[in-house]
Amino acid sequence: MKLENLILHVDIDAFFASVEQLLIPALRGRPVIVGSGVIASCSYEARRFGLKAGMPLREARRLCPRVEVLKGDAQIYRCFAEHVWEVCRRYMPALETYLDEAYGDATGVSVNSPPELGEDLRRSVAREVGLPVSVGLGANRMMAKIASSAAKPGGVKWIPASKAREYLAPLPVRKLPGVGGRTEQVLRDMNITTIGRLCELPRATLEGMFGMRGSELYDRCRGIDDRGRKVAAVNVADQKSSTPPARKPKTISRETTFHHPTCDAVHIEGMLFYLLERAMRCARSLDLYVGAIETRIRYDDWKQVDASHTLAAPTQRDDVAFAAARDLLGRLYRRRVSLRHVGVTLSKFSPAAMHGRLFETAPAARQRELCEAVDGIRDRFGHAAVVTGASIDLLGKLGRNEYGFILRTPSLTK
Amino acid sequence: MNIEKIDEPIGMLADFSGGQCRPVRFMWKSRSYDVSTVNGQWIDREGGTLSLHYSVQAAGQTWLLHLNIHDVQWRLDQVVV
């Protein structure tokens, strides 16, 4: 049979912890967490004790004293992820990969039944790579993702388009993409806790409550999701995509936790620059100009603040982006408290083809060419081959490998 | 559990049949270790070099080692004690 719309969502279960358990048999069947400062990934054995990603390690050790804590190695995880995606590409012509999950488009692929395709894929990954994956199949991205969540761990689930609404009805509203804490609270105040109840509201009512997002909610609670209906062959987690992307990401983020909370302005700016240049390199590799920059900081007492700035003109230059990010940092960092976390997010992308170079000044052209030349060196010899700008301050303070500085949270060391 | 970083060259007897490479026995510090199981393997292509990494069981311990294709050199990276 050939299905008109068949999207797969492949999620590597407890990715980092699963890799560690694969490589070190002594860890199998035991609670394992990967992270430094906070949990980046935890095994299903650890989750039974209430441990989850983002939890501070101190709290994790209190809940599960015999948990095995590993710092992890982003380089190894990346190699394993690529191996998993290589297997997936045999089943789907287009695959859009992230760090530990991927969307694939199997529309038109001849299969006996969708669950059989998913099961075959799951078995192949387990046999060839040794990692457990959950596979969700649906008519669109949202349904595929909801199906893979339901299939965890190590299962396969297909939600046919005809049964999507029926399947969603009893689920809590927060299962829908776009429903966060605030939206959930607003709906709960109206005694709407399930997706089925949300379906009872007319489109106009939801639009009145949530604006444009309300209209999307109206569709999504019926199993309709138009976001990127076609899956493009693109690697969003990787800086180097060998295939030109047909669908651009909405945001590109890089963030990390400091090894020790710090109030050293030079060090903070160095880290901000390093994260920003990594994000900008990713944007350039996807042929995107950046229109807006957000800087985010978290104080040692866990209070988090963020601010964003729309650039006067979209750019691909590190120096322009960093000037904006540093300005935002200066406006945000007002308290006399050390910082434990910093991050940047790039957004409002536009394709490079939209930006001519006719009116580019000579200094601007030189800066752009410099960025492109540095990218070329890094593509060939690894990101760590060149250390530039304010990130020079990180030399000697942080460990390095060919991928760059070794940050505290390996999951974020993209 | 303790992970010791080694990063030393080793001698290796490997099986390259079937288009695949499988470590069979390695020599480290004048002692020979028979590989009983390959726990997992991965390929690292970053930085213009290609290296094949393995996690193997030998003498009741877990060893992480790799083959650098560029200089055809095996190295022992870590041992899990």
Kindly list the structural domains of chain A, giving each domain's residue range(s) and its CATH number in brackets, ordered by start: 178-220 (1.10.150), 252-412 (3.30.1490.100)
**Token pair for residue A7?**
């999207």
Contact A380 B42 (CB under 8 A): no
CA B31 to chain A, closest CA, distance in angstroms equals 22
Determine the Cα–Cα distance for residues A162 and A320; give it in Å rounded to an integer: 50
Catalytic site residue A101? yes
- Reduce the DSSP state of residue A284 to 3 states and report it: helix
**Token pair for residue A233?**
């062959």
- Band (pLDDT 50/70/90 cuts) for residue A271 is very high
Best CA proximity match to A159, nearest among A8, A4, A1: A8
The mean predicted confidence, pLDDT, of chain A is 86
Cis? peptide before A132, omega within 30° of 0: no
Instruction: Give the one of B37, B40, B47 whose C-beta lies nearest to A402's C-beta.
Output: B47
Instruction: Give the one of B39, B46, B62 whose C-beta lies nearest to A382's C-beta.
Output: B46
- Band (pLDDT 50/70/90 cuts) for residue A72 is confident
Q: Which domain holds residue B36?
A: 3-80
What residues of A are in contact with residue B42 (Cβ under 8 Å)?
76, 79-80, 83
**Token pair for residue A137?**
């199949």
CA A19 to chain B, closest CA, distance in angstroms equals 9
In sequence order, which residues have a C-beta less than 8 Å from that of residue A86 and are 6 or more positions away?
Answer: none
CA B44 to chain A, closest CA, distance in angstroms equals 6
Is B79 within 8 Å of chain A by CB? Answer: no
Nearest CA in chain A to B56: A23
Q: Residue A396: its pLDDT value, please?
A: 82
Is B43 within 8 Å of chain A by CB? Answer: yes
Q: What is the tens place of the pLDDT at every residue in A304-355?
A: 899 999 998 899 999 999 999 999 999 999 998 999 999 999 999 988 777 7
- Band (pLDDT 50/70/90 cuts) for residue A247 is low
Is B40 within 8 Å of chain A by CB? Answer: yes
Of the residues A101, A216, A255, A277, which is catalytic?
A101
Q: Residue B40: its pLDDT value, please?
A: 94
Determine the Cα–Cα distance for residues A73 and A410; give it in Å rounded to an integer: 6
Instruction: Give the one of A23, A68, A382 whose C-beta lies nearest to B40's C-beta.
Output: A23
Contact A76 B53 (CB under 8 A): yes
Q: Residue A228: its pLDDT value, please?
A: 55
Provide the angle, in degrees to the nearest 10, between the axes of the packed helices A318-332 and A265-285: 140
Higher pLDDT, A52 or A411: A52
Residue A414 has pLDDT above 80, yes or no: no
Hey, of B3, B4, B42, which one would you mutate to test binding to chain A, going by the most A CBs within 10 A of its CB? B42
Q: What is the tens place of the pLDDT at every residue in A305-315?
A: 999 999 988 99
R_g of chain B computed on alpha carbons: 12
Work out the angle at residue B72's Cα, subtended by the Cα atoms of residues B71 and B75, and round it to the nearest 5 degrees. 100
Stretch A174-195: mean pLDDT, rounded?
88
Q: What is the tens place of the pLDDT at every residue in A134-173?
A: 999 999 999 999 999 999 889 999 999 889 999 999 999 9
Residue A110 has pLDDT above 60, yes or no: yes
How many other CB atoms are there within 10 angstroms of residue A267's CB atom?
Answer: 18
What residues of B are in contact with residue A29 (Cβ under 8 Å)?
none
Look at chain B and report how many structural domains it folds into: 1
What residues of A are in contact with residue B58 (Cβ under 8 Å)?
none
Q: What is the tens place of the pLDDT at every residue in A273-314?
A: 999 999 999 999 888 999 999 999 999 988 889 999 999 889
Residue A242 has pLDDT above 50, yes or no: no
Q: Residue B47: its pLDDT value, please?
A: 64
Q: What is the tens place of the pLDDT at every residue in A357-404?
A: 777 788 888 888 898 899 888 887 778 888 888 888 888 888 777 677
Q: Residue A3: its pLDDT value, please?
A: 64
Residue ranges for chain B with pLDDT beneath 70: 47-48
Interface confidence, given as ipTM, is: 0.94
Q: Residue A238: its pLDDT value, please?
A: 47
How many other CB atoms are there within 10 angstroms of residue A405's CB atom?
Answer: 22
